[in-house]
Amino acid sequence: MFKNNILKNTSLTALSVMAVALWLGSAHAALADASTLGDVLCSGFTNAKPFGKVFQWIAYAAGAVAGVQGIHHARLHTEDPRNHPLHRALMLWFGAMCLLSLPSVVTTVAMSLYGGSLTGGSLGCGAGGAGGGGTGLDGMMSGFIDNIKNPIQSVVALTAFLSGLFMMVRGLMKASKFGFDPKANSVHSVLTHIGFGALLMTIGDNLDMMLESVFGNHDKSGGSVISWGGLSALSGGVSSQFTTAVNAALTFVQLIGCIAFVRGWLIMKKVVEGGHGNVTMAQGITHILGGVLAINIGGFLLLMDTTFGTGLLN
């Protein structure tokens, strides 16, 4: 028994490693020319895009099945209207229509609820330059962070998009089944899935909106706007290595902020849907606002410096 478990776990681990290797490598010919971790991440980002088509195929198949079921229940309604009410067939047809035309429905919902397109904002995948401009640890840190920043942001945006698309499909499928089990497929659950699905699919545009609301602009400048003038006066001068290392650290904080921002909306979805586990509204809001502050960490530090009058950063 013990040996079988070891063999099973080893096999699953090996298959997982092989799957990741195929996803990041063999499916993308450009990886042969990859020289940095950012190139590898961008390869994974490119290879993950077709997964969106999988959800469209699932939606199309589910729509076709729902359409046939609608016809069947319409026939049953003509034979026994009391036990087979007409609204079941109508809800099945409505769900089938939405699932069969998923791209148009997704765009319509996104434009109606948030006024945003499915462009993803400014989060595009493109590896930065590899490190090598400096020989010290600061140069290595700066080169590594600059290289992976855009790919990681793009991977987070893609994850949010696929999660939103899955929620949208699930919400439409729940809507098509409303007539059979209103308790399990309530209007509240349907709207929650569709609303948060649209929000996650337009996560880049919603991030810009949150940054505009908090800071008055959506400039994700990181630490580049900080001059460290006050620190120079205190310490007799700030070296370029210090500035480079700090800016790299602030950029890393931005990446953590992107992840926290997306996770906050996922927590909010669970809370609105009825709560799963120990998640609370306060946790979701904290993740969202904390993520926004972390993404524009440079502007936030300048605000704190001005608020408390320390005069260290300008």
pLDDT in tens, 63-74: 999 999 999 999
**DSSP reduced 3-state for 119:** coil
- Whole-number CA gyration radius for the chain: 25
Contact 136, 241 (CB under 8 A): yes
Instruction: Give me the residue spans of the domains in the chain.
Output: 34-308
For residue 190 the two structure tokens come to 């349907």
Q: How much is the pLDDT for 242?
A: 72
Mean pLDDT, rounded, for 76-85: 87
Dump pLDDT digits (tens) for 240-296.
777 777 778 888 888 899 999 999 999 998 888 876 668 888 999 999 999 988 888
Cα-to-chain-centroid distance, residue 19: 22
Q: Which residue has the higher pLDDT, 232 or 271?
A: 271
**DSSP reduced 3-state for 130:** coil
For residue 28 the two structure tokens come to 């993308």
Q: How much is the pLDDT for 263?
A: 92
Rounded to whole angstroms, how far apart are CA atoms 24 and 238? Answer: 41
Q: Within 10 Å of residue 77's Cβ, how many Cβ atoms? A: 18
Q: Within 10 Å of residue 184's Cβ, how many Cβ atoms? A: 10
Q: Which residue has the higher pLDDT, 280 or 124?
A: 280
Rounded to whole angstroms, how far apart are CA atoms 229 and 311? Answer: 8
Contact 297, 223 (CB under 8 A): yes
Q: How much is the pLDDT for 22?
A: 55
Q: In which band, very low, low, confident or very high, does the pLDDT at 131 lie, cut at 50, 70 and 90?
A: very low
Burial of 227 (0-12, 13-18, 19+ CB in 10 A): middle
Cα-to-chain-centroid distance, residue 254: 15
Rounded to whole angstroms, how far apart are CA atoms 201 and 120? Answer: 8
Rounded to whole angstroms, how far apart are CA atoms 98 and 188? Answer: 18
Rounded to whole angstroms, how far apart are CA atoms 155 and 290? Answer: 20
270-288 as b/e, with b when 16 or more CB fall inside 10 Å? bbbeeeeeeeeeebbeebb
Contact 125, 42 (CB under 8 A): yes
Contact 223, 118 (CB under 8 A): no
**Full-model pTM:** 0.66
What average pLDDT does the structure give for the chain? 77
The contacts of residue 215 (CB under 8 Å, 6+ apart) are 296, 299, 300, 303
Q: Mark out the alpha helices in 177-280 (DSSP H runs).
A: 187-201, 203-215, 229-235, 240-273
Rounded to whole angstroms, how far apart are CA atoms 217 and 210? Answer: 9
Helix or strand (DSSP H, E) at 9: helix 2-21
**DSSP class of 1:** -
Percent of the chain scoring above 90 in pLDDT: 13
For residue 256 the two structure tokens come to 């953590």
